[in-house]
Structure 1
Amino acid sequence: MNKVGIRQLSLYVAWLVSVIATLGSLYFSEIRGFVPCELCWYQRILMYPLSLILGIATFQNDWSVKKYVLPLAVIGWSISLFHYLEQKVPGFADIKPCANGVPCSAEYINWSGFITIPFLALIAFTLIIILMLLIKPSKNNQK
């Protein structure tokens, strides 16, 4: 596969990951009735625009979108990691307890003893970061 094919595939898969993450979060809150905690809202704020930004970039073959997507994904990844550690590591919850509503240490799901909603977000942000890093600009076209 040539460089253009790899870049296009990486962009498309990153968009697909962001759409699945967005729809998954909406499924958990709107269908399953799980009320998002404060950190979940921050992760949503960073993931939802990625669906739109990556979707437009995918259909425009705009590989320069990486400079906009990476900061959002890295910040989202950091929040997801902190949130996951708050759920799984004793003592982390004491660092910054959520002020109102659902506590951020609550686990609505716990599949196989380690897969929680913040873990799913962490995986989605990780995949998007990796896929963006696979997009290398061409020498004649700095997109």
Structure 2
Amino acid sequence: MRSSRTSSGIAVAGLLLAALSAAPAHAAALSPPPGYGCEVTYASADWATGFTALLTISNTGSKPFSPWILQFLFSGNQKITVGWSATWTQTPPSVQAVNPTWAKSIDPGASTSLGFQGTYSGINDKPTDFTLNGVPCKVTYTDIS
């Protein structure tokens, strides 16, 4: 026979597990850690099968991003051919830009600029899901004139 203490512990653990599994899995990703915030301006210019993108990353929080990694997703067949002011890698649909050695930190209130050229066919949709060190960023899209 089980003691009431063991049965109560199992019941509480079961309730806790049920409550955690009912919570949305993305809830933690919606709120950045205290002190962290970012904004990305994505400016692009397209031509027949290529494009240029200029990005500005702004630290809108009170803590530095040091070192930093910017990540985002392409929805189409976009391929980065050359990039600058970061080390660029791409595993479709994901893109990653890692800070250069000469700019390892984005301090609060500061920003940094980087960019790339790429190719595509069909439609060149704007990338989505920008994060800086895993912190979701506000994004503004503009066209290069």
TM-score interval for Structure 1 and Structure 2 normalised by the shorter chain: under 0.3
Q: Which has the higher helix share?
A: 1
Of structures 1 and 2, the one scoring higher in RCO (CA 8 A, sep 6+) is 1
Q: Which has the higher strand share?
A: 2
Output the TM-score relative to the length of structure 2. Answer: 0.26
Output the TM-score relative to the length of structure 1. Answer: 0.26
Task: Name which one, 1 or 2, has greater alpha-carbon Rg.
Answer: 2
